[in-house]
Structure 1
Amino acid sequence: MLNTNYKEIVDLTAVGGQNPKKLNDILRLAASEKIAPSSRDEEKVLFVGIDFQNDFMENGELAVPNSHKDIENTTKFLYQNFDKITSIAVSLDTHAPHQIFHPSWWVDNEGNHPNPYTIITEEDIIHGKWMSVENQKESLEYVQQLENQGRMKLCIWPLHCIEGTNGAALEGQFSNMIHFHSIARKSPIHKIVKGKAPLSEMYGIIKPEYDKNSYVNSEFLELLKGYDKILVAGEAKSHCVLESLRQILEHYQDDVHLTSRIYVLADCMSSIPGFEENAENTLHDFINKYHINIVHSNELTI
């Protein structure tokens, strides 16, 4: 199928580290491939890679255990199904140090910032356990809205995916593969930047956890209608993958024809420790309610 060997594109010893391969060299190889452009595909297949970024790798600032194996499985899947994947979309979690889910936003009555993974509740704020450095009214409103709407409680994360840093960049070997695909199949990558609003977390790729202006990525939701299969993988399974799926499924809850075309690659994503059981239970609910498919990458026939 391809003249270029998998190992010419991906170096598995470098996953999560410095990329030894130059993108221009890889793209020259891609340009030399004689493969049909994706515009000719009769069956349209979209691969959605959620937050495959350096800071979510095993040596990153918000490390997800087993993420290196997820990259291996994902890149091999993309290579083996190269001529069947029409388009690739990726999300990029993109933050600043001073956001509501980072330690610098909050202090206790002694001026100490919360440790990573601290949960801050409405009661904590009302009783003065934690105080926002600024935007006090809006910060309380945000936490109240999370609890009122049954969203995940505010969790203070380690600084991660800070815009312009290496941690915010796509993991190198995954990047090699998707850009190789883009050139060889003449298929532009859809890149979705999320998480820049200071007053809200944005786990899902469609909308923030809470936003006064009710922002929704309608363009991407509309894009999904054009595909016969939608394949989903990424990090972390328990948070950004799960919430992205939830937002898409809730939007299309009355369209089982679309939701049943979603395939979640179980061996191409992993959870943040402590959230594994909830992730599994939620995915099981999605299967029953929306008829999505949970599959292993080496078992999926496209």
Structure 2
Amino acid sequence: MKTPFHHIFDTDSVGQTINPLPLNHLLRWANLEQIEPDTSSPKTLFLGIDIQQDFMDNGALGVPGAAQDVIRLGQFIYNNVEKISSIIVSLDTHEPAQIFHPYWWVDEDGNHPTPYTVIKPEDLTNGKWHAIIDPALSKHYVRQLEKVGKQLCIWPYHCINGTTGWALENQFSNLIHFMSVAANIPIQKICKGQHPLSEMYGIIRPEYSTHDNTNIELLEKIATFDKIVIAGEAKSHCVLESIKQICEYYYDKLDITRKIYVLTDCMSDIPGFEQQSQMAYKILVSKYKINLVKSTDNFL
């Protein structure tokens, strides 16, 4: 790699709305690189989950530690560019009028819930909350979540489609697009979470749907790689659920799930969910043999 890391990735600007490194300039340099892939390395996918502006520390749904996660991730990608065969990134993509946003719900006085309010089936039965859009379907959704041990959490408005908060984090975006040109690495971008009547933490399917919305095409593509490296935000929610959904689909194919490598130092929990997150990852390791690694480990 001829171009120094700091010419592509400005660590002081991670999570900021102003990008001091214009992508057009970077891609001109990228055209001069002509990086050759390491053909002796396993075919490796980097799967980046929701590495977006709104999930950075100071974002609308900020995850403490996210900026440092992105810096470590950026260094990992830069150091391993010859070994990465393909990049897939997800983009949480929402509108204000969705079931997990305050707009959807009101109490008897017409007040909307504050962020991080949990709405349970009994809250709908006793009139504590009611939906102003599709009340019957909304109640059905909350009840279905409870049946599978989940709850509806109201989040701050975040990742509203087309806003600066929805965009990929600037320096991460610079880096993967530079690498895509310099090393001819394909990038696939997946928008998730657009259905108004369901949360969609994982990249494979929504939390609940009356239809089978499983992304089989993506699952089959992921399975073609020798190693699947995963990082993103938040560790306790969208990253965790994405990994669970992949593992649950390939529950009887440990030869696939054991190819998953999770960069534990390139993702952080939403505060308050640390303990259950830790337990969930332990279960995934035990049941599906996924690998928890650090970005500085030698595993590629």
The Cα offsets for residues 69-105 of structure 1, whole Å up to 9 and x where unpaired, read as 0000000000011100111110000000010000000
Preserved contact between residue 90 and residue 190 of structure 1 (Cα < 8 Å): yes
Corresponding pairs, count: 299
The Cα offsets for residues 152-190 of structure 1, whole Å up to 9 and x where unpaired, read as 310000000000100000000000111111111212201
In structure 2, give the amino acid aligned to 1:6. Answer: F
Unaligned runs of 5+ in 2: none
Structure 1 runs (4+) deviating above 6 angstroms are none
Equivalent-residue separation in structure 2 for 1:300 and 1:289 (angstroms): 24
Preserved contact between residue 71 and residue 268 of structure 1 (Cα < 8 Å): yes
| Alignment counterpart, residue 297 of structure 2, candidates 292, 296, 299 | 299
The CA deviation at 1:37 is: 5.0
The CA deviation at 1:219 is: 1.1
The CA deviation at 1:29 is: 1.1
- Within a 5 Å distance, the mapping from 1:63-78 to structure 2 comes to 63-78=62-77
SS in 1 for 2:204: coil
Equivalent-residue separation in structure 1 for 2:282 and 2:298 (angstroms): 19
Preserved contact between residue 37 and residue 187 of structure 1 (Cα < 8 Å): no
- Within a 5 Å distance, the mapping from 1:75-90 to structure 2 comes to 75-90=74-89
Equivalent-residue separation in structure 2 for 1:77 and 1:43 (angstroms): 16
Preserved contact between residue 84 and residue 185 of structure 2 (Cα < 8 Å): no
2:22 alignment partner in structure 1: 22
1:44 alignment partner in structure 2: 43
Equivalent-residue separation in structure 1 for 2:40 and 2:3 (angstroms): 21
SS in 1 for 2:165: helix
The CA deviation at 1:301 is: 2.6
2:55 alignment partner in structure 1: 56
In structure 1, give the amino acid aligned to 2:35. Answer: I
2:176 alignment partner in structure 1: 178
- Within a 5 Å distance, the mapping from 1:73-112 to structure 2 comes to 73-112=72-111
SS in 2 for 1:267: helix
TM-score normalised by structure 1 residue count: 0.97
The CA deviation at 1:138 is: 0.3
Q: Is it true that 1:200 corresponds to 2:169 in the alignment? A: no
The CA deviation at 1:42 is: 5.2
SS in 2 for 1:282: helix
In structure 2, give the amino acid aligned to 1:285. Answer: I
Identity across matched positions, percent: 53
Q: Is it true that 1:5 corresponds to 2:4 in the alignment? A: yes
Q: Is it true that 1:217 corresponds to 2:215 in the alignment? A: yes
SS in 1 for 2:264: strand
TM-score normalised by structure 2 residue count: 0.98
In structure 1, give the amino acid aligned to 2:293. Answer: V
Q: Is it true that 1:290 corresponds to 2:278 in the alignment? A: no
| Alignment counterpart, residue 164 of structure 1, candidates 162, 165, 169 | 162
Deviating more after overlay: 135-144 vs 29-38 = 29-38
Instruction: Give the direction of change, closer, same or farther, for the CA distance of 1:125–1:41 in structure 2 (3 Å limit).
Output: farther
SS in 2 for 1:193: strand
Equivalent-residue separation in structure 2 for 1:300 and 1:253 (angstroms): 27
